[in-house]
Amino acid sequence: EVQLVQSGAEVKRPGESLKISCQGSGYSFTTSWIVWVRQMPGKGLEWMGIIYPGDSNTRYSPSFQGQVSLSADKSVSTAYLQWSGLKASDTAMYYCARVSTPMGDAFDIWGQGTMVTVSS
């Protein structure tokens, strides 16, 4: 079964760092881009950035450039989303998804989501 499994929910204080993960299985993890998508409480979907696990090439949405960092470890088929100094406004659900090139770059497989809560 093709799937993306994300790490569990996190509760952090403002200013703390955090790294969440997204592990792929059932397909060639290194040959498909992975996208990260933010969904703030009660709001819509925003793409944050993409990473190609094969060579860790990354692209960031201008809205998130400099705010987060993407990385990948192809040896464990895992992509990561990282913050160095969380803010309350980072409270959201974060999804990873596979970018499907045959579908023209629609997002065909989604992780279950990681809820990040930042509160003092």
Partner 1 sequence: DIVMTQSPDSLAVSLGERATISCKSSQSVLYNSNNKNYLAWYQQKPGQPPKLLIYWASTRESGVPDRFSGSGSGTDFTLTITSLQAEDVAVYYCQQYYSTPTWSFGQGTKVEIK
Which residues in 70-89 contact partner 1 (CB under 8 A)? none
Q: In whole angstroms, what separates CA 86 from the centre of its chain?
A: 15
109: phi then psi, degrees, rounded to nearest 5: -125, 130
d(CA 109, CA 120): 34
Residue span 45-74 as binding mask against partner 1, x where in contact by CB under 8 A, dash where not: xxx--x--------x-x-------------
Looking at the DSSP assignment, which residues form a beta bridge with residue 98?
34, 109
20 interacts with partner 1 by CB under 8 A: no
> Which parts of this chain interact with partner 1 (CB under 8 A)?
33, 35, 37, 44-47, 50, 59, 61, 95, 97, 100, 103-108, 110-113
